[in-house]
Amino acid sequence: MKKDECVRRTAYITKWCLTKGILEAEGEEDLPYFYFGRYHNQACKGEWSYNLDEARRQVEEQKQRKLKSLRKSIEKLSRLDPFALQPKKDADE
C-alpha cells in the first residue's frame, strides 16, 4: 500500500464518552490520530480503539477518574465554612 493511500476502518471513539457515550465512526488512521466525520474530526491515541471491549475499558477508566475528582471536590466543599471571615488584604501587599 502506498503512503498516500488511506484505508477507511471503523473505530470506537471514546473522546467524549462521559457526555455522549462511545461513538462508532468510520475514518482513517494516521498514528497517533484517527480522523473521522464530515469535518475531519480527530481523536488522539487513547481516545479511540478498533476493539469495542477496549473502548469500554477506556470508558470505565475515565469514569473512575472523574468520580475520584468529584469526590475530592465534594470533600473540599464540605470542609468550607461559608461564614468564616477572611482577613482583609492590604493594597500594599
Across the chain, mean pLDDT equals: 89
Expressed as residue numbers, the domain containing 21 is: 8-76
Q: Can you give the pLDDT at residue 64?
A: 98
Calculate the alpha carbon distances from 80 to 49, 69, 74, 83, 89 in Å. 41, 17, 10, 9, 20
86 within some domain: no
Q: Which residues contact 48 (CB under 8 A, 6 or more apart)?
A: 11, 12, 13, 14, 15, 34, 55
50 within some domain: yes
Which of 50, 63, 65, 57 is closest to 13 using CA atoms? 50
3 within some domain: no
71 within some domain: yes
2 within some domain: no
29 within some domain: yes
89 within some domain: no
* Whether the model pTM is above 0.75: no
38 pLDDT tier (thresholds 50, 70, 90):
confident
Would the pLDDT of 11 be above 70? Answer: yes
93 within some domain: no
Number of domains into which the chain is organized: 1
